[in-house]
Amino acid sequence: MKLFSENIEDLRTLYIASLKKALDMEQKITKALPTMIEESTDPQLAKAFRNHLTETQGHVTKVQNLLREASGDVSTGTCKAIAALISEAEDNIKDAGDPSIRDITLIASAQQVEHHEMAIYGTLRNWAELLGQDEAADILEGILDEEKNADETLSNISDTVNTTAASSGVYTTAH
Ligand SMILES: [Fe+2]
Ligand SMILES: [Fe+2]
């Protein structure tokens, strides 16, 4: 895509605003993950959430550094989408009775969050490339890879958790 200088200024403004929203998103996820860890009954799931909490804390620092370099201002924006996804996850946890159903709902909610993050970082990486910010694009690509890995780990765990829930009869007794 060819951009003219005025387009570049607009894109830079959009890029910085989106980084600020990404910072809010990561900070909110950092606050939500300890509850997800606490509510998990499957040890593998709790471990995956703990690992991703450490990665998420790293994402906060990386996005702050990107913002510092891009604008010198590390204040946060507001990511309305993540607030809605977290609030929905909290409702689902409340609605889930059986522990294996709770694990299933935790995985489903967490995967929605990971997919949202993947969309955000895929876009931010592309915009950094368009702006000629190759180092920033590499850092954003690195974050994107961690979100993809977290999603894949959750998919693998969901195979075990779904099998456990099915064999314990929770699917059939619910009806
Ligand atoms: Fe993240
Ligand atoms: Fe994530």
- Ranges 69-78, 91-100, 134-143: which has the least confidence: 91-100
Q: Mean pLDDT in the chain?
A: 92
The predicted pLDDT at position 173 comes to 47
- DSSP designation for 72: S
Is the pLDDT at 149 greater than 80? The verdict is: yes
In the chain, the N- to C-terminal Cα span, in Å, equals 53
Find the 128 Cα to ligand 2 centroid distance in Å: 20
**What is the pLDDT averaged over residues 166-173?**
60
Q: Which ligand is nearest the CA of 33, by number?
A: 2
CA 87 to ligand 2 centroid distance, Å: 16
Answer yes or no: is pLDDT of 2 > 80. no
Count H helices and E strands in the chain, helices first: 6, 0
**54 is written with which tokens?**
């450490």
Say what the pTM is: 0.90
Nearest-angstrom CA–CA distance, 98 and 165: 9
Is the alpha carbon torsion for 80, 82, 85, 87 positive or negative? negative
Domain 11-166, CATH class in plain words: mainly alpha
Q: Vertex 17, ends 14 and 23: CA angle to 5°?
A: 140
- Each domain of the chain, given as residue ranges in start order, spans 11-166
pLDDT in the model for residue 66: 98
Neighbours of ion ligand 1 (CB under 5 A): 56, 59, 117
pLDDT of residue 175: 40
- Tell me the CA–centroid distance for residue 169 and ligand 1, in Å: 35
Q: Which protein residues have a CB closer than 5 Å to ligand 2 (ion)?
A: 117, 147, 150
pLDDT, tens digit, for every residue of 28-51? 999 999 999 999 999 999 999 999
Q: How far is the CA of 36 from the centre of ligand 1 (A)?
A: 15
Report pLDDT for 165.
65
- The answer to whether the beta carbons of residues 34 and 53 sit under 8 Å apart is yes
pLDDT in tens, 87-118: 999 999 999 988 879 999 999 999 999 999 99
Q: How far is the CA of 69 from the centre of ligand 1 (A)?
A: 19
**Residue percentage of the chain with pLDDT more than 90:** 81
